[in-house]
Amino acid sequence: MNAPVHHQTLVTPEKPKALAAGQFKVTARDVDVFYGDKHAIRKLSIDIPDRAVSAFIGPSGCGKSTFLRCINRMNDTIPTCRVTGDIKVDKNDIYDPKIDVVQLRAKVGMVFQKPNPFPKSIYENVAYGPRIHGLAASKTELDEIVEKSLRKAGLWEEVKDRLQHPGTGLSGGQQQRLCIARAIAVNPEVILMDEPCSALDPIATARIEELIDELRQNYCIVIVTHSMQQAARVSQLTAFFHLGTLVEYGDTDEMFTAPQEKRTQDYITGRFG
């Protein structure tokens, strides 16, 4: 990309109130991440507010996904990966050995690059989490959770008459909304999205972006994206990563018009990356 980003904003440009009040949902201090000898994240500190969308941008391999996965301990599943430093969600240390990782991943849900519904029915995809977390006392309550989650994910009208059909039979964009419904069903507070639109066509992408904008009213959302246009459209805050460091994090509008750092300026104007 050689020209500055064309700035389209879907969302109201007001600053998140949480920023002004200093209320942060996720805080990280001096986080380092290693894969064996490879130092992937260096001394990263960040305060992420609630009820806003934060976008992580930066060139390939700069550590965006690695840091995103730290926020719900998804990196625990990679044997060579070691995380040091301090990460808190709601002031609770998520690397405390006493933390129940299954509960943490319900509270800090994740949506992946490629939609990955379970090979089960649409209903079961959404009902599975609430059932294992004991969130429904009866079948009626479970039905209500499934409907509410599918509604919040903007999928209910399209699937209400075929809840017993396989989730894998939906279109890519519908599958991604099903995965969002699945994450929502267990009452998360933070939703991590790792390039959630990269496998989708522009229409399905627009639908997911609208959904992200609606969801920010109730959740802390962090999205990794390769698209600066997408970051500009959906986020209120943007974090620019480079070579495993967080170069700057702040108001999306300011980041794309008057970045603080030369490296950010060079990246958003297409001089590297």
- Chain residues in the site for ligand ATP (CB under 6 A): 35, 38, 40, 58, 60-66, 78, 80, 226
Q: C-beta of 194: minimal distance to ligand ATP in Å?
A: 8
Helices (H) and strands (E) in the chain, counts: 11, 10
Contacts of 90 (CB under 8 A, 6+ apart): 25, 189
Select 35 or 128, whichever has its Cβ closest to ligand ATP: 35
Select 21 or 78, whichever has its Cβ closest to ligand ATP: 78
Residue pair 193/166 in contact (Cβ under 8 Å)? The answer is no
Select 75 or 125, whichever has its Cβ closest to ligand ATP: 75
Q: C-beta of 177: minimal distance to ligand ATP in Å?
A: 22
Q: C-beta of 35: minimal distance to ligand ATP in Å?
A: 3
Q: C-beta of 134: minimal distance to ligand ATP in Å?
A: 33
Select 19 or 70, whichever has its Cβ closest to ligand ATP: 70
Select 155 or 197, whichever has its Cβ closest to ligand ATP: 197
Select 107 or 226, whichever has its Cβ closest to ligand ATP: 226
What's the token pair of residue 37?
Answer: 């000898």
Q: Letter for the amino acid at 263? A: R
Name the strand (E) or helix (H) holding 245: strand 245-251
* Other Cβ atoms closer than 10 A to 103: 11
95, 185, 220, 248 alpha-carbon torsion, rounded to 10°: 60
Residue 253 to residue 272: CA distance in whole angstroms: 21
Q: C-beta of 68: minimal distance to ligand ATP in Å?
A: 8
Q: C-beta of 60: minimal distance to ligand ATP in Å?
A: 3
Contacts of 72 (CB under 8 A, 6+ apart): 94, 104, 105, 108, 109, 110, 190, 192
